[in-house]
């Protein structure tokens, strides 16, 4: 009896030890690192905001949404990014609302290998701006500046608009086709397709392949998949934290309802070279409005205005008229552009709808324009707009506004967003 009892105790002890070892081993190595890294992220994001903002229950939930957006875009990259067999993946848009996307721009990115040779081919489309930015790894502070930008519209093409261009650190001997020099330290290509007239302009269709690597893709090893899981939390945090306090920084500098600040976004945030940005904070009650007014350049390839919320997400321009560009706004007879920002629809053609966000940023940009004026900005009573705007200001009826919003939503949805 004693011997049998001892064997039973040994079996129980062995089973318990086996269970302890199994519990100590992560079912999916790297997963616990991901979840642990995300655990404290909401608090880190909120800590970058002033008390009046982070104590707002609505904004706290919007911070949660911002983090989900960062998780989504980072997860797409972690799942599919492959410098040896790359593809242009969605980076930022009306759904993946990180890095404060421009309402008129489709952003897609492809990771590349240092020193690799790549072939891009496809159809040009007809958008005014279609650029490929060549980027190094980001700095530790998250800021980044492109090595160079290349213009798809300047490539050779056939009668159907098909193009074919090689990217490499050194041009191959005897190669006679279109060629772009690839900085030997580059790790990412960023496609920006900027459309003003969403109903007529067509986005480029583009593919990418590494030509100095085998065409087929082997099964990704477990160590590589674990590395991606382990690094995902850091990537998400970088995206969620990068610009979340930008509105508050502008507010602290005094750019509220009265003046605009010129922002050299290309110098530290990867913006397109030569694009002129300006922005200022709006802070409005329901019975107030902002009037933006500026001389309009004689020539301009692209110009726009948009709104952001308090945590620097671009305000929902898909369901609201929260952005306007040079194909959408009306320039007055005196050559000036006037735009009204308000909570309630004032009936003017050039209206930016805050869409329920009483404070945020008005941001504008001029691209390849003959002049780059910075608009004036003044807060007025909404009821006084009629006597403050020119008599020939363009107005729309509620029915016309409804049609405008429905049409812009349909046109935007028909773009190549993914």
- Cβ of 47: how many Cβ atoms within 10 Å? 12
With beta carbons less than 8 A apart as the criterion, state whether 109 and 234 touch. no
pLDDT band at 334 (very low <50, low <70, confident <90, very high): very high
Quote the CA–CA distance of 116 and 171 in Å, as a whole number: 12
| pLDDT tens-digit series, residues 244-272 | 999 999 999 999 999 999 976 655 556 78
With beta carbons less than 8 A apart as the criterion, state whether 308 and 361 touch. yes
pLDDT band at 142 (very low <50, low <70, confident <90, very high): low
| pLDDT tens-digit series, residues 185-231 | 999 999 999 999 999 999 999 999 999 999 999 999 999 999 999 99
Quote the CA–CA distance of 74 and 85 in Å, as a whole number: 18
pTM: 0.91
Distance of CA 287 to the CA centre of its chain: 32
**Does residue 9 register a pLDDT over 80?**
no
Domains and their CATH numbers in the chain:
33-241 (no CATH), 246-413 (2.60.120.1600)
| pLDDT tens-digit series, residues 351-380 | 999 999 999 999 999 999 999 999 999 999
pLDDT (0 to 100) of residue 2? 54
Mean pLDDT of 162-187: 97
pLDDT (0 to 100) of residue 265? 60
Quote the CA–CA distance of 114 and 117 in Å, as a whole number: 9
Mean pLDDT of 55-73: 98
pLDDT (0 to 100) of residue 418? 87
pLDDT band at 139 (very low <50, low <70, confident <90, very high): confident
Mean pLDDT of 291-296: 98
Mean pLDDT of 284-297: 98
* Closest alpha carbon to 284 in 200, 154, 378: 378
Which helix or strand (DSSP H or E) is residue 409 part of?
A: helix 398-413
Q: Which two tokens stand for residue 312?
A: 């620097």
pLDDT (0 to 100) of residue 268? 55
DSSP conformation letters of 72-84: HHHHHHHHH--TT
pLDDT (0 to 100) of residue 3? 53
Quote the CA–CA distance of 324 and 336 in Å, as a whole number: 15
């Amino acid at each position: 009896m004693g011997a049998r009892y001892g064997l039973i105790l040994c079996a129980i002890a062995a089973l318990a030890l086996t269970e302890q070892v199994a519990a100590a081993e992560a079912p999916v190595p790297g997963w616990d690192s991901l979840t642990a890294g995300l655990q404290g992220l909401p608090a880190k994001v909120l800590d970058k905001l002033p008390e009046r903002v982070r104590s707002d229950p609505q904004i706290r939930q919007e911070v949660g949404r911002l983090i989900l957006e960062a998780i989504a875009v980072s997860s797409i990259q972690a799942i599919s990014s492959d410098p040896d067999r790359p593809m242009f993946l969605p980076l930022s848009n009306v759904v993946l609302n990180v890095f404060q996307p421009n309402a008129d721009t489709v952003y897609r990115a492809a990771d590349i290998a240092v020193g690799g040779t790549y072939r891009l081919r496809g159809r040009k489309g007809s958008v005014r701006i279609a650029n490929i930015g060549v980027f190094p790894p980001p700095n530790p502070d998250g800021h980044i500046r492109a090595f160079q930008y290349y213009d798809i519209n300047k490539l050779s093409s056939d009668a159907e608009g098909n193009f074919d261009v090689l990217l490499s650190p050194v041009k191959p001997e005897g190669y006679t086709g279109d060629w772009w020099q690839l900085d030997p330290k580059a790790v990412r290509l960023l496609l920006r397709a900027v459309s003003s007239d969403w109903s007529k302009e067509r986005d480029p269709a583009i593919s990418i392949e590494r030509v100095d690597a085998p065409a087929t893709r082997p099964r990704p090893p477990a160590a590589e998949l674990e590395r991606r899981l382990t690094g995902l939390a850091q990537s998400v945090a970088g995206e969620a934290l990068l610009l979340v306090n930008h509105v508050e920084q502008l507010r602290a500098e005094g750019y509220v309802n009265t003046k605009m600040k010129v922002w050299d976004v290309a110098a530290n945030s990867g913006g397109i070279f030569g694009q002129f940005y300006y922005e200022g904070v709006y802070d409005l009650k329901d019975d107030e409005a902002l009037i933006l007014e500026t001389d309009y350049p004689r020539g301009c390839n692209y110009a726009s205005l948009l709104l952001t919320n308090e945590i620097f997400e671009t305000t929902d321009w898909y369901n609201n008229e929260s952005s306007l560009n040079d194909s959408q706004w009306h320039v007055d007879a005196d050559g000036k552009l006037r735009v009204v920002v308000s909570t309630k629809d004032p009936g003017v053609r050039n209206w930016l709808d805050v869409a329920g966000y009483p404070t945020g940023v008005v941001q504008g940009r001029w691209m390849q324009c003959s002049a780059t004026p910075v608009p004036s900005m003044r807060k007025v009573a909404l009821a006084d707009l009629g006597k403050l705007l020119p008599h020939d200001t363009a107005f729309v009826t509620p029915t016309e506004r409804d049609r405008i919003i429905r049409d812009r939503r349909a046109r935007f949805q028909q773009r190549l967003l993914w």
